[in-house]
Chain A
Amino acid sequence: MMDVGRHPNITLLTYSEVEEVSGYVGSFSVRIRKRARSVDEDLCTGCGLCQEKCPRRVVDTAFEEGMGKRKAIYRSFSQAVPNIPVIDRENCLYYLRGRCKLCEKYCPTGAIRFDQEDTILDLDVGAIVVATGFQMWDPTQLEEYGYGTSPNIITGMEFERLSNSSGPTEGEILTAEGEVPESVAIIHCVGSRDERAHEYCSRFCCMVALKQAHLVHDKTGAEVYDFYIDMRTFGKAYEEFYGRMRREGIHFIQGRPAQVAEDPVTKKLHIEVEDVLLGKWMEIPVDMVVLANAVEPQHDSGRIAALFGLGRTPDGWFAEAPPKLRPVETSTAGVLLAGSCQAPRDVPDTVAHAGAAALEVVRLFNQGVVTVSPTVAVVDASQCVGCGECIPVCPYTAIARGPEEKAQINAALCMGCGTCVAACPSGAITALQFTDEEIVAQIDGLLAPVV
């Protein structure tokens, strides 16, 4: 992370989103909206005084997963890159009520800018790597897991914040009542491998669950019950890690729990499950339940796909060009995929996939030129009457008016789709290698009887 912030060849645009993309491999134009941080990035030294003095505390539903609080002017975490805070205008007292400005008062470099506006940046790039990642599936959708009915039923990501030394409990694993749990259940495949939610395996949650089982056992000494369907520890050193957890004394139970319910009197969480290896029905009371909930495509992955011309598989992940041999390429040349926006990936696999995407970009840049298919549309100026019918139908905005108002096709933008050929009322446009005679010959060849 720090390397990215310092790298002379990397321009970091955080709190920013891509709004428009046009062009083609080797020559894309991109419009980016850099949202107003309300802080002058050049003046801010990242001292953190503004954050300390800000009187407004809000629940952090993003980085802290709702487990902790932050200020209205904040950095998500201590090692944030860039080390520059942002004002959350929906919660800042100045934006809400027109007064406060304590951050401005205390800022030693005068970097607070309440009137800062979004800025628009237009960039020219030759290649695009889409690395927009995943989101966690919301487990309230399957009622039997009881998520939302007790504060001690938490997701895996909430557990991470609980166990992280920078989190709300400084890394102490505690129940909502502030006590060290004596027993903890970890449930695999919550929303994964389940036709009611996601049919696919989320791939890395078995290992996450095992790691969390270890952390609970190690930090609290609690009895840990791990409920799994199949243990998928296929990576290097993963099966060995599972073996180590068995030796550490984690209780592994093969079976998908039917119900997690809180006892109204004791507040214990009762797990009802059939241990399929023993063929035995069990009810296990615990103090805390951690759900290994599924990962899924980002909520706005449809919009992102449309923006970059990406296909999606039926489950919503971005589609690579033919699978197996071209794992980072897409149906749009020059747009590459990296990481879990394409499918759930753990850290080592993400790093490898992103490295492959970087190589494709570097390969293109080293070549310095792209070879473009010559099967484009051409205008016979002597036939063109300049009616302009072709201009709005072109999906690639490749046609404009040239000399004498006649149609002129930019061969670099034309994809040879033939829409303009069909639209031209005077028959002045021809698609190379798809001329009328070629197409008629092809049709005749297909339709004549076979002797």
Chain B
Amino acid sequence: MEEPRIGVYICECGVNISATVDVPGVVEMASDLPGVVIARLHKYACSEDGQVTIQNDIRELGLNRVVVASCTPRMHEPTFRRAVADAGLNPYLFEMANIREHVSWVVRDTEAGTDKAKRLVRSAVARVAFHSPLEARQEPVTQAALVVGGGIAGIQAALGIADSGYQVYLVEREPSIGGHMAQLDKTFPTLDCSI
């Protein structure tokens, strides 16, 4: 395995993280971890500027692993994976530590919060060192849709897909489509007929 050259980026998320986590303290700890070449603090790591900082470090410092400690990966993992890939690094040589939802938003005590944030960052750094490059796979798509339910929603969705040139199977459990809509007399606010 190549010698890890890890960049660590700790995000303040405005005050979302920095209010309850000593972010400079986490950066300082991260700088001394094995394999870490650079550790930086950023007010918003997800911003254009934050991403460019990471990309420049990959190119200039020859980073081969990146860790971002910020919010939940559900939010910005795709953002950072794209950013590191654009700088030439395999997007799976990236790891995220969630120090917002798992730390700053759920603790009140700065000391305890900082302790947990440090552990999460250290853990992500230790883990990323063992990552191998992976390639996302592409699978073909069957260009036909199933729409379940023949009320207004199902009818509208089916027409939208079918008018775009794709096959639709519209399944309705009653003998006719129309749903509740077909039962109504007049519809608000225009008072026109429902069918």
Q: Could you tell me how many residues of chain A have their Cβ less than 8 Å away from some Cβ of chain B? A: 116
Residues in A whose Cβ lies below 8 Å from that of B153: 131, 133, 338-341, 345, 350-351, 353-354, 357
Render A150-175 as a binary contact track against B, CB cut-off 8 A, 1 for contact: 00000001001101110100010000
Nearest-neighbor residue (CB-CB) of B29 within chain A: A450
B59 within 8 A of A: no
Nearest-CB distance from B112 to chain A (Å)?
A: 11
A9 within 8 A of B: yes
Give the most central of B142, B174, B186: most A CB within 10 Å: B142
Residues in A whose Cβ lies below 8 Å from that of B145: 125-129, 361, 365
Residues in B whose Cβ lies below 8 Å from that of A132: 148-149
B162 within 8 A of A: yes
B86 within 8 A of A: no
Nearest-neighbor residue (CB-CB) of A136 within chain B: B180
Q: State which of B92, B130, B141, B156 has its C-beta within 8 Å of the C-beta of A370.
A: B141
Q: State which of B129, B175, B191 has its C-beta within 8 Å of the C-beta of A15.
A: B175
Residues in A whose Cβ lies below 8 Å from that of B178: 1, 76-77, 79-81
Nearest-neighbor residue (CB-CB) of A133 within chain B: B151
Residues in B whose Cβ lies below 8 Å from that of A17: 171, 173
Tell me the bound Cα distance from A445 to B127 in angstroms. 8
Q: From residue 114 to 147 of chain A, which have CB atoms closer than 8 A to chain B?
A: 123-134
Nearest-CB distance from A228 to chain B (Å)?
A: 15
A435 contacts B130, CB within 8 Å? Answer: yes
B141 contacts A367, CB within 8 Å? Answer: yes
B85 within 8 A of A: no
Give the most central of B164, B169, B182: most A CB within 10 Å: B169
Tell me the bound Cα distance from A445 to B170 in angstroms. 52
Nearest-CB distance from B189 to chain A (Å)?
A: 4
B177 contacts A81, CB within 8 Å? Answer: yes
B contact face: mostly helix, strand, loop, or mixed: mixed
A265 within 8 A of B: no
A191 within 8 A of B: no
A interface with B by C-beta (< 8 Å): 1, 3-5, 7, 9-18, 25-28, 30, 32, 37, 62-63, 65, 74-77, 79-82, 84-86, 123-134, 157, 160-161, 163-165, 167, 171, 207-208, 210-211, 214-215, 235, 237-238, 240-241, 304, 308, 322, 336, 338-341, 345-347, 350-351, 353-355, 357-359, 361-362, 364-365, 367-375, 411-412, 432-433, 435, 437-439, 441-448, 450
**18 more A-B contacts (CB under 8 A) besides A14-B173, A368-B140?**
A10-B159, A16-B171, A27-B139, A81-B176, A85-B175, A211-B188, A215-B185, A238-B189, A338-B156, A350-B152, A351-B156, A354-B154, A358-B159, A361-B145, A365-B164, A442-B124, A448-B119, A450-B119
B interface with A by C-beta (< 8 Å): 29, 74, 92, 115, 118-120, 122-127, 129-132, 134-191, 195
